[in-house]
Structure formats: C-alpha cells, structure tokens
Amino acid sequence: MVDIAELGQRSRAQAGTMVDRLRQLVHQESPPGAVRRLHDCADLLESWISPVLGRPAVRVLHDGLPHLLWPAEDQRVLLLGHYDTVWPEGTIADWPFAVADGIATGPGVCDMKSGIVQMVTALSLLPDTSRVGVLLTCDEESGSPTSRPLIEQQALRSRAVLVAEPSTEDGALKVARKGGSMYRITVQGRAAHAGVEPHRGVNAAVELAHQVLAVRALATEGTSVTPTVLSAGSISNQVPESATFCVDVRAWTREELDRVDRMIHAMTPWLPEAALVVGGGINRYPLQESVALPLLELARLAGRELGLPPLAGAHAPGASDAN
C-alpha cells in the first residue's frame, strides 16, 4: 500500500533535482537528424534512467538515430516520449535555459524535455518498476519515420501507454488528438528565357500558385489544409522549370483525412504541359477519445487519492506518438 503523504513529501523533495535535470537536458541540444547530438543526449538519458529501472537500455539504431528502449519482461505499462526537438543546433546560445516566476523556458522545455524529467522522477518514486517499460525516441518531430514500428511493437506488449507530452495550460490531460498528413508536391514545367522566349516555357511557379489555392480550398470546419514550404525556380531571368510545396493536413476523423488524401492524390495540372508528382500521405490517424477515457478515469481516481484538483480531459489539435 502506498503512503500518499510520504509520496507527496518525496516528490516535493525532488523539485530542485528536477530543475537541475531539465537544465542539463535542455542544454544538451537534440535537433532533428543531428546524429551526434542525439547520441550525446541519449547518453545523458541512459545515465538517469538505467539506474532507476535497474536494467540497461537497448539502443535501437535506425539510419544512425538512437532510440532508447527499456523493455520489461511482463510489461503492463509503457512510458513513451521523444527527446528530439524542433530547434536547430545553436539555439541554446541565444535562448539559454531559465526559470522566472516558476516558469521554465528554453528550447525543448515544453515539447517535451520537461515531460521526460517528470517521467524519470515518477519512476524514481515507484516502489516497483519491474512491469514498466520505457521508450524514448528521437524522430517524433519528423513524423516518427524510423521509430513508428518500434512504438507499435512495444505498445502491443502493454496494457496502457502513457505519453509524456505536455498537458494543456490549465492541466487538462489530452484524451483526443487530430490526425495528420504530410505531402510534398512537385511541379514540373519547362524552362525558357524570361525575356527572349517566355512563351516557350511552362511556368512551374504559376502552376504551383494555382495548386496551392486548390489545396487550400480542401479545408473544412475542423480540418486544416495548410501549404507550408514553397520553392520555385533557381535564377531570376528564367521561366521556372520546377517547383515544390509542402502541405500539412490535420483532421479530427479518419474519414476527413481519407477525403483530403484522395483529393490531393487526384490533383491534375492547371497549365497545359505541366506535370504534378504527389508524395507523402497520411502519417497518423486521430486518437479517438473513447480509447483514452478509461485511462483518464484511472488518472482521476489516482489524483483524488493524492489530493490533486479534479483532472479534466482535453482535445488537442496537434498529432503525436499518442495517436
């Protein structure tokens, strides 16, 4: 039986250690795809978690990227997180870790290095971690292209998966998430001199402009279709021969993701003699509330026992490995 009062005292006593660890983890930069930096960050995480669990990590390498796995033999719960961030290497020089008025800031604090520190602290407070598995990946910000099979494998071994992504600002637990799709659309035209013979060209930039507007028109209430990165041409006095743009799609239902996916893959050129190549597709289907509500009820029960304020559930527009 857990002594709730003692657990509260022990957790509060960890506050200083948590801030110190968060500072270390934030200053250990981990940009997407930066293999050396990611291995350095993995070393730090191993040094914290392996002693707490009493078992070594399995460093699973895919394309050089180090995913950290501590499997449990009779795994009931999987704690899942990612230690890559969206911030490029060197950001820490201009934006160092800081704490002011009880709020920590710095690259990766929110998404999701603070969650990892909370995870490590919670593990250190548990009397028995023998049935808890831990998986920390390093490509979530890129859509989890190499870690997804590992995540699915370990999730299937577990009765519950808890993802240490941040709660909402008011502390609500995220029980539903939009699904997401990612596309890269390439336009092929024909180059020509912009001054001497523009009529001989097929302007890929003009085709791109029409396709961007067509894609944007696929959005509906609750479904966002957002053109993001655009590129066309290489020199200023030439009709662009090629162009590309990326599209980010978010939706609350599987049906909506499927609809937009069909429409994007069915796109046809607007200009005669232009050609389109559509790459990408659905990355993650939505996390449905019905799947997560049983875990929310368990969290509410545990929260009451710990004397915490009532826990609420929330729907998040962003996708994650929780999907």
- Dist CA 194 CA 129 (whole Å): 68
- Which candidate in 29, 111, 139, 140 is catalytic? 140
- Which candidate in 29, 84, 165, 261 is catalytic? 84
Task: Tell me the two tokens of residue 183.
Answer: 């596309």
Number of C-beta neighbours around residue 93 at 10 A: 8
- Dist CA 29 CA 18 (whole Å): 18
DSSP-based three-state secondary structure for 145: coil
Asked if the bond preceding 112 is cis, omega within 30° of 0, the reply is: yes
Please indicate whether residue 84 is annotated as part of the active site. yes
57 CB contacts (<8 Å, ≥6 apart)?
46, 49, 50, 68, 69, 70
DSSP-based three-state secondary structure for 134: strand
Please indicate whether residue 140 is annotated as part of the active site. yes
- DSSP letter at 110 equals I
**Residues recognised as catalytic:** 84, 140
